[in-house]
Structure 1
Amino acid sequence: MEFFRIIDKQVTEEIIQTSINPENLEKFTDSMFFLEENDNNFKGGTLWGEFNISYDIIKGGIRFTLLDCPNALSWTITTGFSPEKTKIIIHSTINRTQKPAEFIEEVNEFLDEWESGLISQF
Structure 2
Amino acid sequence: MEFFATAQARLGAEQLQHELTGQRLPELCESIDQVLHWDAALDTGEIYCLWGQFKVNRECTRDGVRFTLPGCPNALAWTVTAAADGTLVHCTINRSEHEPDFIESIEEFVADWAQGLQRL
Q: Same fold (TM over 0.5)?
A: yes
Aligned partner letter, 2:119: S
Aligned partner letter, 1:58: T
Aligned partner letter, 1:21: T
1:97 matched residue in structure 2: 96
Counting aligned pairs with the same residue, the percent is 33
Instruction: Find the aligned partners of 1:63 and 1:48 in 2 and give their Cα distance.
Output: 19
Q: Secondary structure at the match of 1:10?
A: coil
How many residue pairs were aligned? Answer: 117
Instruction: Find the aligned partners of 2:100 and 2:85 in 1 and give their Cα distance.
Output: 32
8 Å Cα contact 1:61-1:79 kept in structure 2? yes
Give a deviation string over 1:28-81, Cα, whole Å, max 9, x none.
Answer: 11221211135721111111111111111111010011110000000000114x
User: What is the CA RMSD across the aligned residues, in angstroms?
Assistant: 1.4
1:87 matched residue in structure 2: 86
Q: Secondary structure at the match of 2:17?
A: helix
TM-score, with structure 2 as normaliser: 0.91
* Structure 1 residue 11 displacement after superposition: 1.6
Aligned partner letter, 1:67: P
Please, which runs of 5 or more residues in structure 1 have no aligned partner?
none
2:35 matched residue in structure 1: 34
Please tell me whether residue 75 in structure 1 is matched to residue 78 in structure 2.
yes
1:16 matched residue in structure 2: 16
* Structure 1 residue 101 displacement after superposition: 0.7
Please, which runs of 5 or more residues in structure 2 have no aligned partner?
none
TM-score, with structure 1 as normaliser: 0.89
8 Å Cα contact 1:52-1:67 kept in structure 2? yes
2:63 matched residue in structure 1: 60
1:25 matched residue in structure 2: 25
Q: Secondary structure at the match of 2:26?
A: helix
* Structure 1 residue 111 displacement after superposition: 0.9
* Structure 1 residue 120 displacement after superposition: 1.4
8 Å Cα contact 1:76-1:92 kept in structure 2? yes
Please tell me whether residue 43 in structure 1 is matched to residue 42 in structure 2.
no
